Amino acid sequence: MAGYKETDEITGTETTGHEWDGIKELNTPLPRWWLWTFYATVVWAVGYWIAMPAWPLVSSYTKGVLGYSNRAVVAERLADARAAQSQYLERIQAASLEEINSDTDLLNFAIAGGRSAFAVNCSQCHGLGAAGGRGYANLNDDAWLWGGTLEDIAQTVRFGIRSNHEETRLGDMPGFLRDGILDRAQVADAAAYVLSLSGGAEDQAAVARGAEVFAENCTACHQEGGVGNTEVGAPNLSDEIWLYGGDKETVLTTIANGRAGVMPAWTGRLDDATIKQLAVYVHSLGGGQ
């Protein structure tokens, strides 16, 4: 076969010499552009092996003469992003919370940064929209257990509530029944009084008895009339907002067993600029004072 080339009479094209039941295969050449593109890809591939990381070795891989690395590119881009943010971060670091809040540029940056920090660190308890849940404060409303000014919020974020930080915010709502301070009847009366503060229709006799119980046991923290005290995290009992629920059952449970929700201290875990941004963000959610 070697050296012999057969040509198909009808098409004038060379055959491959293969024959099946009298049918011969034509040796139709590939289109030139296709062939040259193919050769170009071969050349490209060889060049790529030399220039770029390509072949796996036993415990490593060929690095390529360009020294390209995806990981390095990502690190570089992150560094670039940090550098781009640094002018803002430095200013936030240096500024007081009030200054941040009154500078449109810094405010927008802090709200954006605070939102993403919130999503990562806070949303697990407070929810992505900061609407909270049972036992977890809604940060959108205007009722604050520990105060709603920028400084108050920042301090809460920094040191937490009943956390293991030594500067933590501390308040103690005892279990009045559990600890034997009050008996069942007194607890029921106190609950009736508390519910009456926010307009609940209760048995007047129970409310009157409850007022006495409240005055003796609760006003130290919750103040006269149950308006609360942000110094010790005592909630305002006369408004429409309830952390654990405002139905009779829940109020009874709260008085009987006490409440002691915990929020971790974030100082040490988040840097100061992030905590400031979180404070400004939470303050901007609508209830900031």
Partner 1 sequence: MQHAVEADEARIAVPEGESAPTAAAGPGVERAAVEPVNKRERRGLYAKRKKIHPRRARGTFRKVKWIVMAVTLAIYYLAPWIRWDRGPNAPDQAILIDLPGRRFYFFFIEIWPQEVYYLTGLLIIAALGLFLVTSLFGRVWCGYTCPQTVWTDLFLVVERFFEGDRAARIRLDQAPWTARKLLRKTAKHAVWLVIAVLTGGAWVFYFADAPTLTADLVAFDAPLVSYVFIGLLTFTTYTLGGHAREQVCTYMCPWPRIQAAMVDANSMVVTYRDYRGEPRGHYRKGQSWEGRGDCIDCNQCVVVCPMGIDIRDGQQLECINCALCIDACNDVMTKIGRPRGLIAYDTLENVSRRAAGASARVALLRARPIIYGTIILVVGAVMLATLLTRATLDVNVLRDRNPLFVHLSDGSIRNGYTLKIINKEHDTRRFRLSVAGAAGATLDVVGVSDGGEPVLTVEPDRLASFRVYVTLPAKDLEGSSLPIDFVVEDTTSGARATYDGIFRGPER
Q: Report the residue from 52, 95, 125, 131 that binds partner 1 according to the rule CB under 8 A.
A: 131
Tell me the C-alpha to C-alpha distance, in Å, between residue 227 and each of 5, 172, 239: 106, 17, 8
The interface region with partner 1, picked from 36-44, 149-157, 205-213, 236-244 by CB under 8 A, is: 236-244
| Comparison of 52 and 143: residue with beta carbon closer to partner 1 | 143
User: Mutual orientation of helices 70-94 and 272-284 as an angle, nearest 10°?
Assistant: 70
116 contacts partner 1 (rule: CB under 8 A)? no
> Closest separation between CB of residue 154 and partner 1, Å?
18
CA-based nearest residue to 281, from 178, 161, 139: 139
> Closest separation between CB of residue 261 and partner 1, Å?
19
Q: Report the residue from 4, 22, 32, 180 that binds partner 1 according to the rule CB under 8 A.
A: 32
Cβ pair 18, 25 in contact under 8 A? yes
Q: Report the residue from 25, 90, 142, 167 that binds partner 1 according to the rule CB under 8 A.
A: 142
Cβ pair 254, 247 in contact under 8 A? no
Total of residues contacting partner 1 (CB under 8 A):
28
> Closest separation between CB of residue 101 and partner 1, Å?
7
Q: Binders of partner 1 among 87-106, rule CB under 8 A? A: 101-102, 104
SS3 state of residue 222: helix
Q: Which residues contact 150 (CB under 8 A, 6 or more apart)?
A: 97, 98, 101, 279, 280, 283, 288
Residues that bind partner 1 (CB under 8 A): 28-32, 101-102, 104, 107, 111, 127-131, 138, 140-143, 236, 239-241, 284-287
